[in-house]
Amino acid sequence: MVRICIIYDKLRFEEKKIYNDIQQKGFEATLVDGKSLIFDTESSKSDSRFGDIILQRVISYNRGLHLTYCLEQMGLPVVNSSSVSEICGNKLITSLILKKNGVPTPKTTFAFSTESARECMKKLGYPLVVKPIIGSWGRGVYQIKDQSMAEMMLDSRQENDNSFSRIYYFQELIDRPSRDIRCIVIGDQIVASVFRYSSENEWRTNVAVGGRTEMAPLTSELKEIVLKASNAVGGGILGVDLMEDKERGYLVHEVNNTVEFRGASAVCKSDIAGAMTDYLVKMSSK
């Protein structure tokens, strides 16, 4: 019997749903809190808690990534792999990889100090979008409308000093409807596609800031771009997010590594957790 281990740091709807689904399908499931784990250089695959395959669902980018390195070192298959996690958890790397692989993506500019960020914004002009290179739920994603907002942003980055706060990620503001698209990809299958509409007085469409989901038709063009984006980052269980530019069409702006699907599962008929289980079972014997 296949044994699947789910590693988490906070139990959300998704982890519980996948855990129940694995058991309902007759497989063994364990839930392990990543915060409780200790590894050493001798740690081995024979640790029974980890089963045959691991689903990595840790929210914290750094914690999840470093745990994945340890688990992979033990010779265990981890979904998503460390290389996929590294790319998807970091917006700068994601943008570069998408572009390199011919996936349409917004034009993005990077700067590495306060001075160059200031110069960069002046050159790019306003409005523009700034994002932390690591983060989710729309946190720290702002529209900079003029120079005074630009100075405020630079100030707050200086106060909020961490190793990523002097890495600046500036993106063109995409002219799009008040929605974006989230597609959930498992291996080479797209199991759900939804529109996420932003709430009133909010331009970001994240469900975490009040976005509302509706089923979106999976056109052949959308399918092709989504699979291209998923392959570009290395594939696995992913959430590919796209915007609809009024002139250029679909632009992929993000690929999520520990994808949330509560909103999507409420409006899509497909069994998202079930498809994840099937994929993990398949991958456990590879």
Ligand X SMILES: Nc1ncnc2c1ncn2[C@@H]1O[C@H](COP(=O)(O)OP(=O)(O)O)[C@@H](O)[C@H]1O
Choose which of 4, 29, 195, 204 interacts with ligand X (CB under 6 A). Answer: 204
Q: Which stretch binds Mg ion (CB under 5 A): 97-105, 115-123, 144-152, 249-257?
A: 249-257
Q: What is d(CA 142, CA 209) in angstroms, rounded to the nearest whole number?
A: 13
253 touches, from Mg ion, ligand X, none (C-beta below 5 to 8 Å by class): ligand X
Other Cβ atoms within 10 Å of 162 Cβ, number? 9
CA neighbor of 216 nearest in space, from 237, 238, 241, 233: 241
Assess 14 for contact with Mg ion (CB under 5 A).
no
254: enclosing H helix or E strand: strand 249-256
80 touches, from ligand X, Mg ion, none (C-beta below 5 to 8 Å by class): none
Assess 229 for contact with ligand X (CB under 6 A).
no
Q: How far is the CB of 285 from Mg ion (least distance, A)?
A: 33
Assess 57 for contact with ligand X (CB under 6 A).
no
Give the torsion through C-alpha atoms of 28, 25, 72, 232, to 10 deg: -170
Closer residue to ligand X (CB): 70 or 96 = 96
Assess 141 for contact with ligand X (CB under 6 A).
yes
Assess 124 for contact with ligand X (CB under 6 A).
no
Q: Which stretch binds Mg ion (CB under 5 A): 119-127, 163-171, 246-254, 269-277?
A: 246-254
Assess 253 for contact with ligand X (CB under 6 A).
yes
Choose which of 61, 254, 272, 276 interacts with Mg ion (CB under 5 A). Answer: 254
Assess 260 for contact with Mg ion (CB under 5 A).
no
Does residue 26 come out as left (phi exceeding 0), alpha (psi in the -120 to 50 range) or beta? left
Choose which of 14, 15, 52, 254 interacts with ligand X (CB under 6 A). Answer: 254
199's CB contacts (< 8 A; 6+ apart) are 209, 210, 211, 212
The per-residue DSSP string of 127-184 comes to: SEEEE-SS--TTTT-EEE-SHHHHHHHHHHHHHS--TTTT-EEEEEPP---SEEEEEE
- What is each CA distance from 257 to 44, 61, 69, 103, 240, in whole angstroms? 25, 9, 15, 18, 9
Measured at CB, which residue is nearest to Mg ion?
254
Q: How far is the CB of 81 from ligand X (least distance, A)?
A: 20
| Positions in the binding site for ligand X (CB under 6 A) | 106, 129, 131, 135-139, 141, 171-174, 176, 180, 204-206, 241, 243, 253-254
| Positions in the binding site for Mg ion (CB under 5 A) | 254
